[in-house]
Amino acid sequence: MPTAAVDDPFQAPERRALRAVVTDFTTREITPHLPAWEREGQLPRDLHRRAAEAGILGIGFPEEVGGSGGDLVDVVVMTEALLEAGGSGGVISGLFSHGIALPHVVDEAERRRQRGDTAGADDLVERIVAPVLRGEAIASLAVTEPDGGSDVAHLRTRATRVDGGWVVSGAKVYITSGVRADVVVAAVRTGTPQEAAAGISLVLLDPRAEGYAAPRSLEKMGWWCSDTAELSFDGVPVPDSDVLGEGLGFASLARHFVSERISIAVTAYATAQRAFDLTVAWARQRETFGRPLVSRQVVRHTLVEMTRQIDVARVYTRDVARRHAAGEDVILPAVQAKKTAVEAGDYVVDRAVQLHGGMGYMRESEVERHYRDARVLGIGGGATEVMDDLAARLLGY
């Protein structure tokens, strides 16, 4: 009879080993430097190389394209471990921005391979995917535009046909790793505005190309160590070989939004877990009116509520991740997991700051950073209201 631990993919020996590797990497290579990176507003490129050497950067990408293998369950384990060991949502977003950019390139390489274009497939893998997964280059996904991010089907950045390819003009905003990016997977309109979603394609933009303006670095409420950019393009050339399937962009985005939303849910509950752990330690040691905080019933009940919300979010999200990795359609559960975990995260970081008192409001306290970092999770990857709209449609309301 298999034991419960063996049945639970999150407790499999190789996942436990992965957790230990990521925890060790985080405490050695991330937490000592995080305050400096937060001040600098970006992660060092060297961190990408070191994460690749540790086998962390390529988790969830097949070994054939230069990844470390594994599936979404491994990505969940890695994200939990990094955050619970004292990492941050900013590190997750900046170090793993390729996690939302590269899957579209890998899919296109596979499509080319299937139709016999081995050279075209190899070109994408060797020129784009492998260097990013070796930590030698940085990739961003650019969908959101100054006119709006929620309504992806009506984006305006325009690709115009020219001899041998396209030229792209338009603008993108709030692009993670966009200041440091060496390659940008951008959603552009190759069709007419009337074609809406069907007229959208993903293309590779080279930030060194003519017409690609210097990125504008944006200052944010949280995620300080993750650079965020506004990008503008004026006739940036894109060869045909760098179009990732004409008209296939929206479908590709929609497909990979599912794993992005699950990852955001994990970031939310794992951030909450870290904030909770810090708060329990604080409540045990901090005394008011002659007794430790934790001796007060109202404080203990708050800690119980924090645990309850984290556990519900974790169990539900892990189940959705497991089902996604097994090939099940989890569009609706992924949306529900994101909202559940974001609400848990918002509650927990708020209570964490409250129980820390004045210290919780100080820059020197870690929970202050988690409070700011968590706020974006209900906005990025699909705002909660837009997700509720999607859920209502999927449920037929």
Q: How far apart are CA 373 and CA 221, in angstroms?
A: 7
CA-based torsion, 79, 82, 86, 89: positive or negative:
negative
x/- letters, 206..225, toward ligand FAD (CB under 6 A)? --------------x--x--
Query: 77 vs 335, which CB is nearer to ligand FAD?
Result: 335
By CB under 6 A, residue 350 contacts ligand FAD: no
Q: Which of 150, 160, 285, 288 binds ligand FAD (CB under 6 A)?
A: 150
Question: At closest approach, how far in Å is the CB of 42 from ligand FAD?
Answer: 13
Asked if residue 174 binds ligand FAD (CB under 6 A), the reply is: yes
Site membership for ligand FAD, residue 88 (CB under 6 A)? no
**Considering the complex, what minimum distance in angstroms separates the CB of residue 48 from ligand FAD?**
16
Helical residues (DSSP H) of the chain, grouped into ranges: 4-7, 13-25, 34-40, 45-53, 72-84, 89-95, 98-114, 118-124, 130-133, 249-285, 297-325, 331-356, 366-374, 384-394
Nearest residue to 105 via CA among 133, 72, 73? 133
Q: Which of residues 105-144 bind ligand FAD (CB under 6 A)?
A: 140-144
Q: Which amino acid is at 23?
A: T
- Residue with smaller CB distance to ligand FAD, 200 or 303: 200
Q: Which of 360, 380, 387, 390 binds ligand FAD (CB under 6 A)?
A: 380
DSSP H or E stretch at residue 162? strand 158-162
Which residue, chain included where needed, has tokens 């436990």? 16
Both tokens of 345, joined, read 């995260």
Q: How far apart are the first and last CA of the chain?
A: 44
Position 391 contacts ligand FAD (CB under 6 A): no
- Which residue number, 97 or 302, has a Cβ lying nearer to ligand FAD? 97
Beta strand pairing status for 158-162 and 165-176?
Answer: antiparallel
Position closest to ligand FAD via CB: 149
Q: Which is nearer to ligand FAD, 52 or 143 (CB)?
A: 143
**Smallest distance, Å, CB 380 to ligand FAD?**
5
- 376 near ligand FAD, rule: CB under 6 A: yes
Q: Using CB atoms within 10 A of its CB, is residue 386 exposed (0-12), middle (13-18) or buried (19+)?
A: middle
Binds ligand FAD (CB under 6 A): choice among 176, 252, 340, 365? 176
Least distance to ligand FAD, CB of residue 132, Å: 15
Distance CA 71, CA 325 (A): 6
Which of residues 30, 72, 124, 175 is near ligand FAD by CB under 6 A?
A: 175
Site of interaction with ligand FAD (CB under 6 A): 140-144, 148-150, 174-176, 220, 223, 228, 376, 379-380, 383, 385-386, 389
